[in-house]
Amino acid sequence: MGRYGARRRIASLNDDGLHGFSANDWAAPLLTYLFLSLSADLRPPADLRRYAQTRALATLACLAVNVITI
């Protein structure tokens, strides 16, 4: 099995969605967005517009980290 088998198993993780994206690549940013939205609902931020921009940036950063590095 060796290296070929390991590569084959890892490549199969990306077969469940868009080409090159696994379910985790989509789930992590979604959960980040939802968690930050719930956090803002429980404790409203002082500047809602700035919080929304930061939440969007954090979501995009989460997607980029999952796709590029993991």
Question: Per-domain residue ranges for the chain?
Answer: 2-68
pLDDT computed for residue 69 by the predictor = 81
Written as six digits, the tokens of 44 are: 């409203």
pTM assigned to the model: 0.70
Per-10-residue mean pLDDT of the chain, 70 residues long, equals 49 62 86 96 95 96 86
pLDDT computed for residue 7 by the predictor = 47
CA angle, 60 then 37 then 43, to 5°: 135
Written as six digits, the tokens of 25 are: 């690549």
pLDDT computed for residue 38 by the predictor = 96
